[in-house]
A and B are shown apart, each in its own frame.
Chain A
Amino acid sequence: MRIELRQRTEDSRLMVWLSPLLALGLTLVFGTVLFAALGHDPLRALHVYFVKPLTEAWSLEEIVVKATPLALIGVGLALVFRANVWNIGAEGQYTVGAICGSVLPVMLPDLQGPLLLPAVLVCGALGGMAWAAIPAFFRVRFGASEILTSLMLVYVAQLLLDWLVRGPWRNPEGYNFPESRLFEADAVLPALAGRMHYGTVLALVAVAALAIVLGRTLKGFEFRVIGAAPRAGAFAGFSERRSIMAVLAISGGLAGIAGIGEVSGTIGQLHPSISPGYGFTAIIAAFLGRLNPVGVLFASLLLALTYIGGEAAQVSLGVSDKIARVFQGAILIFVLACDVFIRYRLHFQPMRRPAARAEDAP
């Protein structure tokens, strides 16, 4: 028996959605092996990791908190990826969004009033947009790969944040800890319930808005055409340059909102580690959610679970805090591998006798 991949005549629509489920199944198998190899009872470990967080109110709340930035960034990434633009630097746009959004609360702490919060959010969005505009400009003007430029700008952004909170923006009453002053009340995203804040509402609005843009508007159609067949897009009269600029601006802006939302709604101040890698994990959310805004929402919840489960496993089992990254990486690898079956199907080829010519040989 020989196993072959044969190309399908048309992409399988069933596999588009079956593939992530298959990938999750494989991730669980992988987890079983991993925990067994680490000397833990796999069933108990997987229970601690994937089931227990779903049974307690506080951890469910925490999942929503963590899913919020993931969904905000992830829908933006779904849009750019659909337009065949590869923004890998959402983490940097998130960071610069957080920095720009913090300008008013940190530098003008006496500024108060109902307009402060909207201003903070707009600054965050503009910061993310500006950071994403840099790779957009280099791509459109010089043809530089946005994959490299956007990724490298992540490290620039992180060092900028580090310098700010250790230097000019360090909290004068902060005992020399590398952190900014705390946001005043009017600059804080109000809580919905418990630790959940209004950033979640923004995320849901972003999901709905992008679902409409991509599926129902001429602009979204334009992005999809440019992504699928740039030449056909030019023939239709769409500008590839403008599309690249637009999708990068939108995704950068959403990452910026995620950044300032996290700082304003969850953390309350700037410090060097405002993200456990949301900008990168959101790439996984985008692919796991099939580059579909609603799909990204669910994928974000699942990836948030891997963060919470990772913390739980760290506490109850004593495994490394890197375990969450391992599981996220496994999900991405499995989903990309399973996506092969969208284009190809498995074919089991029975082994045949050797070819006729060989039989003739003496």
Chain B
Amino acid sequence: MIPTTYYLALSAILFSIGVIGVLVRRNAIVIFMSIELMLNSANLAFVAFAREFGTLDGQLMVFFVMTVAAAEVAVGLALIVAIFRSKASIDVDAVNLLKG
């Protein structure tokens, strides 16, 4: 049986790749995909812990995270489409009307 730590290490690596993706990439869709990667790395951690403990809470949480991620996709893609319609670009550096 594969030890739980291996799964956790993989999930930490995936999470870090996601964070780096969000910070480095400039395309809104790719940033969004990186965020999904972070959510799924958390799912992997949940499942790994749930198998280790023999409880169901972690597996349950995964379903909620997937549902919420789906809802976020629906809203997020709609926003990105709206931006693309008015700017013909989804580069986040082009979205700079408001100075922060």
Asked if A pairs with B, the answer is no
Interface of A toward B, CB cutoff 8 Å: none
Interface of B toward A, CB cutoff 8 Å: none
